[in-house]
């Protein structure tokens, strides 16, 4: 039976990226050695790293003055590193979900945190609007896509202070104006590669402004001075990122990916909006293209488990909603084919015919 992988992360990756990564484990580019056993300072891995960085720059049109580096610790470590390096007096944060809350918690260890707006009053089902970003903040931090609740900021904010964005789950899903950001970061395990590597796109003029001493491994300057190679990087995870970036380029780039993602999201959201049984959980103007959350209408909520069982028989994986939201969540990341979304829609409509 064909599997339809809607998992929120680690999540579906392009089949070609998986196949080529598997080959590299046995023999990297015909050198007779595994990717897992060569030195990270060898010319063979340096070529992998150089191409991965170059493709990041090309696909996202990253301007001069930025570095792309790869670190460990996931986005969660960045929640600490960002204020350690950049918060001297006050930082501004937008609270749009659990991951934003975790970032705010870490920042409070280092200075004043101004939460400029929050959607927590309605269980994070919308993106706040009409807030003011304090001009005296050291930076403004946003989480562009909220995997748990299914909301997304699908535009590039104009900020009067350095803008920092956690794009763990929507990087490379749409074109972005990198010049509006001072830092973009995220865990790779949604749209880019396997768990174990974190990407950081950092504007170089952010470095050297900290008024505190920073431990070596937590200092961004350490990792930009010896790009991604101060200590042994996660070589396999970086290689799979490279294969994913090659796949995106081969399709035609990020604009093509965006069109594919919009088509998938429209297909599923239309099915939800036209359903007698299912209903979306996020305001329409804040809906995520990456994580589509929905529940059964109140009178049908006792049938959720039955629908889950039907979905399983049709190969659906990972559509159970997060425990804090309930219902269902379909993560439609870049590598998910539209055929999988159609299969989910078909299952929803089949279930509705016999149960609504």
Active-site residue (options: 138, 166, 203, 264) = 166
Return the SS3 of 310: helix
CATH number of 253-355: 3.90.1150.10
Catalytic residue among 99, 138, 203, 247: 99
CA-CA distance, 236 to 11, in Å (whole number)? 16
Given 138, 170, 190, 247, the catalytic residue: 190
At a CB cut-off of 8 Å and minimum separation 6, what does 73 contact? Answer: 198
- Angle at Cα 141 formed by Cα 137 and Cα 142, nearest 5°? 145
Please provide residue 215's backbone torsions phi and psi, each rounded to the nearest 5 degrees.
Answer: -55, 145
Q: Give the pLDDT of residue 51.
A: 98
Does 247 participate in catalysis according to the annotation?
Answer: no
Domain with CATH 3.90.1150.10 in the chain: 253-355
Q: Which of 3, 12, 2, 4 is nearest to 290 (CA)?
A: 12
Residue 171 tokens read as: 């990087």
What is the per-residue pLDDT for 1? 82
How many CB atoms are closer than 10 A to CB 17? Answer: 23
Task: Determine the distance from the C-alpha atom of residue 351 to the mean position of all C-alpha atoms in its chain, rounded to a whole number.
Answer: 31
| Topology at the third CATH level for domain 15-251 | 3.40.640
What is the C-alpha separation between 153 and 172, in angstroms, rounded? 14
Three-state secondary-structure class, residue 292: strand
Report the pLDDT value the prediction gives residue 325, as an integer from 0 to 100.
Answer: 86
What would you report as the CA-atom Rg of the chain, rounded to the nearest whole angstrom?
21
HEC-encoded secondary structure of 1-26:
CCCEECCCCCCCCCHHHHHHHHHHHH
pLDDT of residue 324: 82
CB 183 within 8 A of CB 71: no
pLDDT tens by residue, the chain, 356 residues: 889 999 999 999 999 999 999 999 999 999 999 999 999 999 999 999 999 999 999 999 999 999 999 999 999 999 999 999 999 999 999 999 999 999 999 999 999 999 999 999 999 999 999 999 999 999 999 999 999 999 999 999 999 999 999 999 999 999 999 999 999 999 999 999 999 999 999 999 999 989 999 999 999 999 999 999 999 999 999 999 999 999 999 999 999 999 999 999 999 999 999 999 999 999 999 999 999 999 999 999 999 999 999 999 999 999 999 888 889 999 999 999 999 999 999 999 999 999 98
Backbone φ and ψ for 216, nearest 5 degrees, come out as -50, -50
Q: Provide CATH 3.40.640.10 ranges for the chain.
A: 15-251
Overall pTM > 0.95:
yes
23 forms beta bridges with none
Cα dist from 188 to 51, 185, 235, 239, 268, whole Å: 17, 9, 13, 12, 25
């Amino acid at each position: 039976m064909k599997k339809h992988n809607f998992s929120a992360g680690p999540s579906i990756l392009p089949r070609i990226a998986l196949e080529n990564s598997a080959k590299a484990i046995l023999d990297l580019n015909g050198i007779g050695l595994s990717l897992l056993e060569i030195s990270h300072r060898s010319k063979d891995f340096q070529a992998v790293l150089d191409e991965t960085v170059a493709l990041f720059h090309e696909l996202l049109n990253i301007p001069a003055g930025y570095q792309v580096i790869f670190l460990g610790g996931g986005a969660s470590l960045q929640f600490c590193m960002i204020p350690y390096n950049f918060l001297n007096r006050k930082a501004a944060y937008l609270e749009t979900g659990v991951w934003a809350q975790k970032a705010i918690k870490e920042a409070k260890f280092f200075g004043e945190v101004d939460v400029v707006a929050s959607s927590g009053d309605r269980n994070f089902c919308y993106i706040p609007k009409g807030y003011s970003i304090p001009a005296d903040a050291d930076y403004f931090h946003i989480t562009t896509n909220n995997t748990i609740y299914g909301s997304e900021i699908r535009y590039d904010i104009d900020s009067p202070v350095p803008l920092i964005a956690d794009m763990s789950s929507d990087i490379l899903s749409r074109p972005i104006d990198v010049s509006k950001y001072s830092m973009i970061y995220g865990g790779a395990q949604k749209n880019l590669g396997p768990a174990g590597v974190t990407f950081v796109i950092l504007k170089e003029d952010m470095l050297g402004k900290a008024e505190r001493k920073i431990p070596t491994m937590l200092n961004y300057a350490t990792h930009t001075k010896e790009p991604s190679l101060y200590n042994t990087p996660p070589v396999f995870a970086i290689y799979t990122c490279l294969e994913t970036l090659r796949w995106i380029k081969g399709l035609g780039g990020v604009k093509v990916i965006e069109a594919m993602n919009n088509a998938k999201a429209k297909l599923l959201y239309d099915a939800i909006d036209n359903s007698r049984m299912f209903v979306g959980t996020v305001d329409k103007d804040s809906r995520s293209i990456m994580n589509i959350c929905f529940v059964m209408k109140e009178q049908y909520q006792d049938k959720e488990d039955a629908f889950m069982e039907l979905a399983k028989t049709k190969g659906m994986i990972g559509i159970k909603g997060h425990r804090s939201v309930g219902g269902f969540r379909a993560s439609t990341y870049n590598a998910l084919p539209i055929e999988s979304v159609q299969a989910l829609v078909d299952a929803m409509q089949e279930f509705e015919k016999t149960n609504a």
